[in-house]
Amino acid sequence: MKELKLKSNPGLQDFQQYVVELEEQRGFSDQTVMEKCLLMGEEVGELFKAVRKAVHLKTDVHSKVGSVKEEVADIFIYLCAICNRYGIDMEEAFREKEEINKKRTWV
């Protein structure tokens, strides 16, 4: 099995391509957008639990809680996968949305 390698100083397109390759290699490329959204939702819950742990809110001592860093990375992977399925260039989408946000009034 070919070792996946993310290039140094990757851009968002590099991450998106890496996710394409990791999904193919790990057998996840046939998952639907709905499945990816549900899985990402689970990861968001895990992120919330990790934040609770990080700020020392009480959590179930028997539950396995990852770090905030790990959970954010999992969410990013799912976000890349969802964008890939819709043909969305994340950098382009970010830039376009930020231009809209710049015109908003924030109070």
Q: Are 51 and 36 in contact (CB under 8 A)?
A: no
The C-alpha atoms of residue 13 and residue 79 are separated, in whole angstroms, by 12
40 token code pair? 């990402």
Q: Give the integer Cα–Cα distance in Å for 33 and 8.
A: 29
pLDDT confidence band for 74 (50 / 70 / 90): very high
Tokens of 29: 């490329």
The pLDDT confidence band at residue 46, using thresholds 50, 70 and 90, is very high
Looking at residue 59, its pLDDT comes to: 82
Predicted TM-score (pTM) of the model is: 0.90
Reply yes or no on whether the pLDDT at 87 is more than 90: yes
The answer to whether residues 51 and 68 touch, using CB atoms and an 8 Å cutoff, is: yes
Question: What pLDDT shows up at residue 65?
Answer: 86
Output the pLDDT for position 99: 97
Question: The domain 12-102: what is its CATH number?
Answer: 1.10.287.1080
Q: What's the rounded mean pLDDT across residues 60-86? A: 94
Per-residue model confidence (pLDDT) at position 17? 97
**Residue position matching structure tokens 């919330």:** 48
Count of beta carbons in the 10 Å neighbourhood of residue 29: 15
